[in-house]
Amino acid sequence: MQLLNETHNVNLKSWVTSANGCADFPIQNLPFAIIKRKGQDEPWRGGVAIGKYVIDMAKLAKLDLFTDEAQQGAVAAAESSLNNLMGLGSKVHSALRLALSKALTQGATLESRLSSALIPLSDIEFDMPCRIGDFTDFYTSIHHATAIGKLFRPDNPLLPNYKWVPIGYHGRSSTIGISGQKFHRPKGQTKLPDATKPTMGPSKRLDYELEMGIFIGSGTKMGDIISIKDAQQHIFGVCLLNDWSARDIQAWEYQPLGPFLAKNFASTISPWIVTLEALAPYRCAFSRNSDDPQPLEYLSSADNSEYGGLDIQLEVLIETEAMRGAGIDACKLSSSNFNYSYWTAAQLVTHHSSNGCAMRPGDLLGSGTQSGPTYSEAGSLIELSCGGKTPIELSNGEKRTFLEDGDSIIMRASCQQKGAAPIGFGQVVSTVLPSK
């Protein structure tokens, strides 16, 4: 499979000058979102980020600048959700990306016409990028799985199936929100170790989870199976995902069927979807330690081994209510990398469809918490606070074991590679409100 093309050229410059040297949205990125101008009574439609601007895809589609698959993609991107664009498949996505890149390149003849479709990034607001019909959350960080296992099952932290099969559960799509989401602290049943019966009330151990979200592009019919060799063609792109967790509710309810009310009250995604093609320069090799079992044949391919991983740098910050009031910058909690995943995105897609489960455009797969091998790379508070036993001191002197009302969690992601232009995902921000 050819990964790199002219859209990845590190030397490309745009006539949108703010894109040149832009950390998140240079011409080599071109991520998609659903946007409208702030405070305006106008339809939601697709947008593409370029520097400090957004291309209004509804206006671009009406200009009829492109041809064939590229124009077909532009028309689909002008709709109020990206589902139809996602479902058109990688050939159309690639054609639209190439046409946008050429039209935005310094010296392009379309500059005078395309410039009329630009809106300042500061003037827009976001909606959900697509209708998420189904949400499956996986468990791809062996470091996180081991750390959580030690807390919940000290004698048997990593269950024997973990190294053989991508573990996941079906989540709740109705409570997924876009960055800026504010949600009320969940209530649920909890039981203290020495209590004779559980109690019902607000969670006292509310946590975040640093994840990546993988959006399905072209779908399949029930009974169809996606081969590991074809899985990349069924991925539209990737976003940031904060999958909130109530650890005290989780500890009481998760056996024998796994996550339920501890996980389905809120999840937050970043507004920008970075396409899989844009991530091509940051692909990396996937391999297993020789002591671990190697993936079964249906989860193995030469391409997946050569470049199935994704080198995406991740970080988490916290902004407390006191910090906001005092004008203090958010405090960094940890950093990690998506390339620590025990399973690749292609393996998740392949395994999900391996029993004939139908996949639909806009379906969201969560990676699970992306923790690294060291303490500073933990992707959740339950790891950083050692299960709530060791408070974390923040930059303003406050302490946290778990989240308090008014806390905001900020997650960011970026890619940097020698010989490639740095790109970013923007950020996902969400805030905890008091329980109702």
From the number of C-beta atoms within 10 Å of its C-beta (0-12, 13-18, 19+), residue 341 rates as buried
The catalytic site residues sit at 144
Degrees (nearest 5) of the Cα angle 137, 234, 103?
115
Cα–Cα nearest to 99, from 61, 67, 123, 122: 67
C-alpha neighbours within 13 Å on the C-beta side of residue 384? 29
Q: Round to whole Å and give the CA distance between 84 and 33.
A: 13
Q: What residue type is 202 in one-letter code? A: P
Rounded distance, CA 126 to CA 180, Å? Answer: 9
Which of 206, 145, 219 lies closest to 402 in space, CA to CA? 206
Which neighbouring-strand residues pair with 430?
181, 409
206 φ, ψ (degrees, to nearest 5) = -80, 135
CA distance 346 to 309: 9
Q: Which two tokens stand for residue 236?
A: 């539209």
* Beta-carbon contacts of residue 361 (< 8 Å; ≥ 6 apart): 83, 84, 86, 87, 130, 216, 217, 218, 219, 236
Contact 267, 365 (CB under 8 A): no
Contact 67, 44 (CB under 8 A): no
Where in 150-191 does DSSP place strands (E)? 168-170, 176-178, 181-184, 187-190
Using DSSP, state whether 58 is helix, strand or coil: helix
> Do the beta carbons of residue 264 and residue 171 sit within 8 Å?
yes
101: burial class by Cβ within 10 Å (0-12, 13-18, 19+)? buried
Give the C-alpha separation, 334 to 371, whole Å: 9
